[in-house]
Amino acid sequence: MKEYIITRQQLEKNIIESGNPICQECGLVITPIETVDNAGNRTHWCGCTNCGIYTSGTTEKVREIAKKIMHRYSYRQFSAKEACDLVSMVLSLNQPHPEG
Ligand SMILES: [Zn+2]
């Protein structure tokens, strides 16, 4: 019986510590999904079982802003993931720069 590279318990702890992120697509909570990595080792990755995707998720705030952008610029056909990534990037750029 082979051990997991990342156990469900480890990943659940990481998910809680990162603030219980939600799926960019449907907004449900991110959960550990059992899978195998590229080397064929059993492991768990973060994802959304509802959408069947692997993702580390996003925050409610980011998803709300992303939904507004997708609505306003619907002709650009952003995916929810792309819109959330864009919003996350803008928010992080908007953070005050740490002084040296
Ligand atoms: Zn989802």
* pLDDT single digits (tens) 9-21: 999 999 999 999 9
Domain segments of the chain: what residues? 8-54, 60-93
**1 CA to centre of ligand 1 in angstroms:** 31
**99 CA to centre of ligand 1 in angstroms:** 38
Q: What is the pTM of this model?
A: 0.82
Distances (CA, A) of 93 to 17, 22, 56, 86, 96: 23, 21, 20, 11, 8
**100 CA to centre of ligand 1 in angstroms:** 40
pLDDT tens per residue across span 49-94: 999 999 999 999 999 999 999 999 887 788 899 999 999 999 999 8
Q: Look at the chain and count its residues.
A: 100
Q: Provide the 10 A C-beta neighbour count for residue 35.
A: 15
**3 CA to centre of ligand 1 in angstroms:** 28
**47 CA to centre of ligand 1 in angstroms:** 8
With a CB cutoff of 8 Å and minimum separation 6, the contacts of 39 are none
- Band of pLDDT at residue 45, cut at 50, 70 and 90: very high
